[in-house]
Amino acid sequence: MDVTHSDRLKSFFKGVAFSEQQEEFFLKPWKVYTFSQSELITQAGSIERRFYVVVAGVQALYLLNKNGEKVVLGFSYPGSPSGVFDSFIRQKPSDTFLEALKPTTLLGISRSDYLSLFENHPDFHKWGHLFFREILFGRLFREVELLTLSAKERYIAFMNRCPEELKVIPQKYLASYLNMKPETFSRLRRSVQY
């Protein structure tokens, strides 16, 4: 693994202290995965086999509604985790798809290797607690926004907090994520300064 990738992983797992031997054990099971634009990384109905950290690209997590339309649940981008976490943890078939919206490079670890990090390094328990707490709070915050903010307020809030990578992904994905029609999103993009 090159230095850039190992630095990316160590940065993602900040708060986990490694001796030189532990760092070697930590880095060894990670592999580089690349996906083309529009390629499915995880298909609904399959079991997520890896936990990913994003090196490059943007991915969308979505499901299909009864009309076959994509309902976007979230995005991942450089420096963030990626994958279908519920399927990965429970080892049950996923209800969602994970798609590369841009050419994507991910660092991935298998479930057995991921679990061995927790078994062999106590700091991972603290990291895992903080990580999943942030995921939970993020989901709760998103639900509150969807239920209490107007379309314009949701648009402004999202654009103010999202990284640059998300501002250039296809409009239909952003509109779905913000629970608005693409025409509404397009109108807001033209008229609202953030």
Domain annotation covers residue 162: no
Is residue 126, in this structure, part of any structural domain at all? Answer: no
Q: Domain range spanning residue 74? A: 3-115
What confidence score (pLDDT) does residue 194 get? 62
Other beta carbons within 10 angstroms of residue 75's beta carbon come to 22
Q: In 3-state terms, what secondary structure has residue 60? A: strand
Does a structural domain hold residue 67? yes
Helix (H) or strand (E) holding 97: strand 97-100
Q: Does 32 fall in a domain?
A: yes
**What's the CATH number where 50 sits?**
2.60.120.10
Query: What residues contact residue 90 under an 8 Å CB cut-off, 6+ apart?
Result: none
What's the total number of domains in the chain?
1
Are 76 and 54 in contact by the 8 Å Cβ rule? The answer is yes
Query: To which residue do tokens 């429970």 refer?
Result: 90
Q: What is the pLDDT of residue 182?
A: 92
The token pair that represents 25 in the structure block = 């054990």
Residue 180 lies inside a defined structural domain of this protein: no
- Residue 64: what pLDDT? 97
pTM of the entire structure? 0.91
Does residue 189 lie in a domain region?
Answer: no
Which pLDDT belongs to residue 192?
87
Looking at residue 69, its amino acid is: E
> Per residue of the chain (194 residues), what is the pLDDT tens digit?
788 899 999 899 988 888 888 888 899 999 999 999 999 999 999 999 999 999 999 999 999 999 999 999 999 999 999 999 999 999 999 999 999 999 999 999 999 999 999 898 888 888 888 998 999 999 999 999 999 999 999 999 998 888 787 777 899 999 999 999 999 999 998 998 76
Within a domain: 44: yes
In a domain, 72, yes or no: yes
- Cβ–Cβ under 8 Å, residues 143 and 154: no
- Look up residue 77 and give its DSSP letter: -
DSSP assigned state of 122: T
